[in-house]
Amino acid sequence: MVRRRVRRTRVATSTRSRRKPGGLAKAATLLPLAIGLAANVSPSRVNRRPQAAATAIVGQACTLPFDAIKQSHSIDTSCPMAGTASSNAQALQNEAKNNFCAKGPPVNLNLRDFAQLQQAAETAGIPFGGDNSLPEDRDALHNIASLSNGRRIGEGTVVRVAAFVMNARNSNTSNGESVNCKHPGIENNDIHIVLGENPVAVGQKPTEAQECQSITAEMSPHFRPDTWTRANLLVNNQKLYRFTGQLFFDAAHKPCVGTTGPNPKRMAIWEVHPVYAVEVCSDGTSCTVDKDANWVPLDQFVGGEPPTTETRVLPLDRDWMLFRGSAQGRNSP
């Protein structure tokens, strides 16, 4: 009996000893896999972005804010939300630029609020300054600043601002830009709008110092209405405009320091981008951002006006009449 117990003990011990190498081998097999998986894990939101986002169609996830007046363009189906991004950070920035689905009632802002937003981003250490300095995770930009009423705002907040259009230009028409898949031409690129607290003289452009006190709104080419043109913005530059859209942090640029800075010059690189709605003050300058009285949508305001083009800016109705009269004279029999 004693011998048998000993043998059993030896057998059990032997069996356990044979199992140990197998367990170690299994652990050794799993270790490289775990290391490999760990190497592919990043704390950045970028690598958690679904692959489908790279091919998501702009405006597909919601009803466009200006759906009733939208116009279809070839870029709407040929260029996805991520554009032709060269990095994950740029893909995230492009997707933010193409966000037409921000929700909630608009928060009324003034130009000083944009300076506060800029300070909040710099205090938080958000990178910016070029295509190689884009944030790898844009979550920190949401609700980044607090207004005097306690409301927190940031990228993705629907905002509204009243200002004068000091300048407007068709951007990147020669080579395009990443967000618009590098397509050239006016139809395929943004309209960059310089907004200020005071108007510039008719037919004049703002000075560098004036632009450094400005903010920016951008009209995306996606589904852009026919009446949303550079010319129609400039023709009423002595009237107040009200722009509604989402807040966007354009980390590819730098703000002015004092009265100088790199192009495009502005006090903050926070933008109203993309624009969701644009209105003109029918009384000129009496409108306020928080009241709807006398604000007229741009498409309705110019609806009864002569058609405009991108090559001729007519700052006064008198100019149009002179132009039309000369044209009729040339075409009369």
CB-CB contact of 154 with 246 (8 Å): no
pLDDT of 14 strictly over 70 = no
Q: What phi and psi values does residue 298 have, to the nearest 5 degrees?
A: -55, -40
| 127-153 average pLDDT score | 95
Residue 113's alpha-carbon distances to 99, 119, 212, 263, in angstroms, are 21, 10, 15, 21
- How confident is the model at residue 43, as a pLDDT? 36
The residue with tokens 């005071």 is 198
Query: What whole-number distance in Å separates Cα of residue 177 and Cα of residue 184?
Result: 8
- How confident is the model at residue 148, as a pLDDT? 85
Q: Taking CA 313 as the corner, what is the angle to CA 243 and CA 331, rounded to the nearest 5 degrees?
A: 140
Helices (H), 58-211: 75-78, 88-97, 111-123, 208-211
From 25, 270, 45, 78, select the one nearest 156 (Cα to Cα).
270
Q: 3: part of which helix (H) or strand (E)?
A: helix 2-39
How large a percentage of the chain has pLDDT more than 90?
A: 72
Query: What whole-number distance in Å separates Cα of residue 261 and Cα of residue 249?
Result: 17
Residue type for position 180: N
| 305-316 average pLDDT score | 40
Q: Quick one: tokens of 179? A: 């967000």
- How confident is the model at residue 74, as a pLDDT? 96
Beta strands in the chain (DSSP E): 107-109, 145-146, 152-153, 158-170, 191-196, 215-219, 240-249, 270-281, 295-297
Residue 54's alpha-carbon distances to 30, 96, 211, in angstroms, are 32, 12, 35
| pLDDT category of residue 38 using cuts at 50, 70 and 90 | very low
Preceding peptide of 306 cis, ω within 30°: no
- How confident is the model at residue 138, as a pLDDT? 98
- How confident is the model at residue 55, as a pLDDT? 77
| 7-23 average pLDDT score | 40
Length of the chain: 333
What distance, in Å, lies between the first and last C-alpha atoms of the chain?
A: 131
Query: What whole-number distance in Å separates Cα of residue 298 and Cα of residue 244?
Result: 12
User: Side-chain half-sphere of 333: how many Cα atoms within 13 Å?
Assistant: 0
Q: What is the pTM of this model?
A: 0.77
| pLDDT category of residue 23 using cuts at 50, 70 and 90 | very low
- How confident is the model at residue 315, as a pLDDT? 37
| 117-127 average pLDDT score | 98
- How confident is the model at residue 321, as a pLDDT? 38
> Which residue has better confidence, 312 or 148?
148
pLDDT of 155 strictly over 80 = yes
| pLDDT category of residue 50 using cuts at 50, 70 and 90 | very low
The residue with tokens 């043998």 is 7
| Segment among 67-71, 211-215, 301-305 with least mean pLDDT | 301-305
pLDDT of 7 strictly over 80 = no
